[in-house]
Amino acid sequence: MTAARLEPPPLRVRTAMEQFPLIRVLSRAITPRLAAFGMTPNQATALGLVSGLAAAACFALGSLPVQLLGAGLFFLYYLFDHCDGELARMCGLASRFGAYFDDLVDWGVHAAFFLAVGYHAMAEAGEALWMWLGVAAALGGTVNAALPLVLGRVPEGEPQVSTLSDLGQDAGWWHVAVFAFRGLARADFWLIVVGLALGGWLWVLLPAAAIGAQVFWLLYLSKSARRIVT
């Protein structure tokens, strides 16, 4: 008995999904302008670092209007985070230092983000549990940032899906849904942050991130261990 073949998603769904990740669409429009201005990839990364840490400060200490400002700054961090790599490729300025600098900024900004949200939630609720959840998310993110440096970038056999076309024309709706979720949770995480900040609900990210970060590095370690053994 042959397994049922997944039908490809309708054309209109695939056309809409080509806009994911949204930040890549935006960065591709901005990067040529930054290049014309003479900005280097490392300068873009540095601007992303400043924007990301300023966003964390807003999330930690600010009222709702200030947190909305923080959401805007967090978006700028994600924009610069994509523009730096595009600038490096466009201008032929890729370097090992730039790659490490970018990885360091990614880790630092996300760790600061979860610590800041945890601190704010603790101050609002008067419960230290929220701060501990922020610490757990930040520590899990630190392990996730360190493991690829120790064990290699992606365990063998792991797919690299960066655009919808990578899925192939025979991909079904489930593959498209997974692609959308991964894109939203990674490249377009800023969009989740903006949406939650509008309602003052950033705290809902803490338990999910505190648990999810540990699950992610445990799965990564497991897959890397299987690769080494086999």
- The CATH superfamily holding the domain 11-157+167-229 is CDP-alcohol phosphotransferase transmembrane (TM) domain (1.20.120.1760)
**Nearby residues of 188 by Cβ (< 8 Å), 6 or more positions away:** 20, 21, 22, 23, 78
Q: Mark 35-57 as b/e (b = at least 16 C-beta within 10 Å).
A: beeebbbbebbebbbebbbbbbe
Per-residue pLDDT of the chain (230 residues; tens, 9 = 90+): 444 444 444 444 444 445 557 899 999 999 999 999 999 999 999 999 999 999 999 999 988 999 999 999 999 999 999 999 999 999 999 999 999 999 999 999 999 999 999 999 999 999 999 999 999 999 998 988 887 777 655 444 444 444 444 445 555 544 444 444 444 456 789 999 999 999 999 999 999 999 988 888 787 777 666 555 55
- Cβ-in-10-Å burial (0-12, 13-18, 19+) of 105 comes to buried
Q: Which helix (DSSP H) or strand (DSSP E) does residue 189 occupy? A: helix 189-199
- Going from N- to C-terminal start, the domains of the chain cover 11-157+167-229
